Amino acid sequence: MAIGFGLIGCGMIAKFHAKAVADLRGAKVVGCFDTFPASADRLAGEVGCQAYHELDKMLANPDIQVVTICTPSGAHMEPAVAAARAGKHVIVEKPLEITLSRCDAIIQACDKAGVTLSTIFPSRFHESSQLLKAAVDGGRFGRLTVGDAYVKWFRTQQYYDSGAWRGTWKFDGGGALMNQAIHSVDLLTWLMGPVVELSARTATLAHERIEVEDLDLPLEGARLVRPAGQAGGAPRRGHRRRRRGRRRAGPLAAGAGDVGPYAPGRLTAWTVSMPASAASAATTSAGTDSEVASTIIAADPSAERPRCMSAMFTPAWPRV
C-alpha cells in the first residue's frame, strides 16, 4: 500500500514537493489544503488529488500518513503542530520556522506525538557534500577550525513582489541569510558542528519595498587559512577589521585554537567536483569562476600543529 502524503500550502513550492512525492516508489499525494480554496483546487487538478478547504478534514483522512508544510516560512508552526497532534509525520520546507521558540514548538509537538519531523536541506545529499562529510567524519582533516561559505545568489525585485509575504520579517523571517544562504549555513553546521559565536553586518542595497536584508557580510577575526582564489589574508588598505565577543578563528568557528600562522608550504589543495552532468571539475587556481566548485584546503597531515580546513561552497542546484 502506498504511503499517502498531504500538502499544506499550495503555492509555488508545493509543486516541487508534489513532484518529489511522485518520483518516490510507493508514495502518492492524496490531498492538499490551502487557506485560499482556489489554490487548493488548482493544485489538486494538476496533481490529481483531493482538494481540502478545511485542514482538520484533511488531517482526519487515514489514507494520509505524512504531511509536507509548504506555507510561508512564518506560518509553518501552526499546521505542523496540528499535523503532529493528528498523528501525521511532518516534513517542513526550509526554514523550519523563523524564531527559535516557534521551531521548538514544532519539535516538541512531534516528540510528544511520537512522529518523525524532517525539514528540507537537500544540499547534504549532493555528491560533493557526501564525499566531504565522509572525509570529515573519517578524521581526514584533523581538528576543524574554520569553515567559510560564499553564496552569490540574487533574487529579482519581481521575486519579492510576487507575494505580499516575501521580504517581510513576519513571514519570511529574513532575507539573503534566512532564505537563500540557509543551505550553506546548514552545510557549515553539519560539517563543522554547533555554532560558537555569530557576528555580521547586513544591509538592504538592491531592492525596494522589502523589510529584510539582501546582503550579509561576516565580521571576521584573523583568518587561519587563506581560501583559494583570494589574494591574501590581510585586510585591504582603508578597511578596518572589527571583532565582537571572544577572539575566535571566524564567525562560525567551532573549537578554534592556536594553530600558528598561515604557512603555504604546509598546505595541500583538494578538489571535489560535481557530477559531469552538472559541472566540469573544480580547480583551485586564482581567478576560478566556477559556480559548482567545492574547494578544500587542508594542512599537511604530517605537520605537528593541528590541521585546518577552509571550505568554499558555491552551489549550483536550482534556486528554490
Tell me: do 182 and 293 sit in the same domain: yes
Q: How far is CA 117 from CA 81, 89, 179, 192, 316, in A?
A: 11, 6, 20, 23, 27
Q: Say how far apart CA 192 and CA 176 lie, in whole Å.
A: 21
Last residue of a domain, one of 86, 120, 154: 120
Tell me: do 116 and 152 sit in the same domain: no
Are 176 and 208 in contact, with CB atoms under 8 Å apart? no
Are 221 and 148 in contact, with CB atoms under 8 Å apart? no
Q: How far is CA 291 from CA 92, 182, 193, in A?
A: 27, 17, 25
Grid coordinates of 271: 578538489
Amino acid identity of residue 77, one-letter, is M
Tell me: do 289 and 143 sit in the same domain: yes
Tell me: do 14 and 163 sit in the same domain: no
Tell me: do 155 and 249 sit in the same domain: yes
Burial label, 266 (beta-carbon count in 10 A; 0-12, 13-18, 19+):
middle
Tell me: do 100 and 230 sit in the same domain: no
Are 32 and 49 in contact, with CB atoms under 8 Å apart? yes
Run of H or E residues at 56:
helix 55-59
Run of H or E residues at 59:
helix 55-59
Tell me: do 7 and 149 sit in the same domain: no
Last residue of a domain, one of 105, 120, 135: 120
CATH number of the domain within which 57 lies: 3.40.50.720
Q: Say how far apart CA 100 and CA 77 lie, in whole Å.
A: 11
Last residue of a domain, one of 120, 135, 158: 120
CATH number of the domain within which 185 lies: 3.30.360
Amino acid identity of residue 314, one-letter, is T
Domain enclosing residue 208, as ranges: 126-320
Tell me: do 105 and 151 sit in the same domain: no
Q: Name the DSSP letter for residue 235.
A: P
Tell me: do 20 and 89 sit in the same domain: yes
Q: Say how far apart CA 71 and CA 188 lie, in whole Å.
A: 26
Contacts of 111 (CB under 8 A, 6+ apart): none
Tell me: do 88 and 141 sit in the same domain: no
Tell me: do 60 and 166 sit in the same domain: no
**Minimal CA–CA distance to 272: which of 127, 123, 122?**
127
Q: Say how far apart CA 280 and CA 131 lie, in whole Å.
A: 17
Q: How many domains does the chain have?
A: 2
Q: Say how far apart CA 201 and CA 177 lie, in whole Å.
A: 11
Output the tens digit of pLDDT for each of the chain's 320 residues.
899 999 999 999 999 999 999 999 999 999 999 999 999 999 999 999 999 999 999 999 999 999 999 999 999 999 999 999 999 999 999 999 999 999 999 999 999 999 999 999 999 999 999 999 999 999 999 988 888 888 888 889 999 998 888 999 899 888 988 888 999 989 999 998 888 777 788 899 999 999 999 888 875 433 333 333 332 223 333 333 333 333 333 332 233 333 333 333 333 344 444 444 433 333 232 233 333 333 333 333 343 333 333 333 333 333 33
Burial label, 141 (beta-carbon count in 10 A; 0-12, 13-18, 19+):
buried
Q: How far is CA 275 from CA 40, 95, 127, 153, 231, in A?
A: 37, 27, 7, 21, 29
Tell me: do 108 and 132 sit in the same domain: no
